[in-house]
């Protein structure tokens, strides 16, 4: 069974987002081993945005495993079906572990982007991080439903 990791900066504070993420994580268990790996959000006073990005990047690096895809606004946009196909091809190509990365409020370090096997963008819009985390987990679940031809994806 493939292992899917979602590396995220920060914690989910809102109960309604946490419940939604938990529900999709529970549903994913029939298709994969799904893990959310959180790293601390840097908020030390006096740091520049660039310094925050670099510190968060250093915390993310040890969590990168298998095929790595980072979410970045400049990344490639996929339809749900194309995203599903990407995951299916990775699994068919022998990827036993896939890691997706959501950066902090200032984005991801260049080091993370360079070490990723690809960059993915959901939209040119900006979303709150907890909402984006929920959207990401839902799209991973949708991708597995497409792969396994379940009726969830319409």
Second-level CATH architecture of 3-147: 3-Layer(aba) Sandwich (3.40)
Taken in order 137, 34, 104, 66, the sign of the CA dihedral is negative
Residue 45 has a pLDDT of 82
Where do the structural domains in the chain lie, given as residue ranges? 3-147
Residue 154 has a pLDDT of 64
Residue 44 has a pLDDT of 76
In angstroms, the CA 76 to CA 45 distance is 34
Residue 43 has a pLDDT of 83
pLDDT under 70: residue ranges of the chain: 153-154
Q: How many CB atoms lie within 10 A of CB 45?
A: 4
Residue 14 has a pLDDT of 96
Residues 6+ apart with CB under 8 A from 112: 57, 60, 61, 64, 70, 101, 103
Residue 71 has a pLDDT of 97
């Amino acid at each position: 069974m493939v292992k899917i990791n979602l590396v995220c900066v920060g914690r989910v504070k809102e109960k309604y987002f946490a419940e939604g993420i938990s529900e999709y994580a529970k549903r994913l268990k029939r298709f994969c081993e799904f893990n959310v790996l959180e790293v601390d959000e840097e908020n030390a006073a006096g740091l520049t945005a660039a310094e925050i990005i670099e510190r968060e990047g250093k915390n993310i690096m040890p969590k990168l495993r298998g095929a790595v895809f980072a979410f970045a606004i400049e990344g490639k946009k996929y339809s749900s079906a194309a995203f599903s196909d990407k995951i299916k091809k990775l699994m068919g190509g022998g990827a036993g572990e896939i890691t997706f990365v959501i950066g902090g409020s200032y984005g991801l370090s260049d080091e993370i982007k360079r070490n990723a096997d690809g960059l993915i963008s959901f939209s040119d819009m900006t979303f709150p991080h907890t909402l984006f985390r929920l959207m990401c987990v839902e799209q991973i679940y949708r991708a597995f439903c497409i792969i396994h031809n379940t009726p969830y994806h319409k």
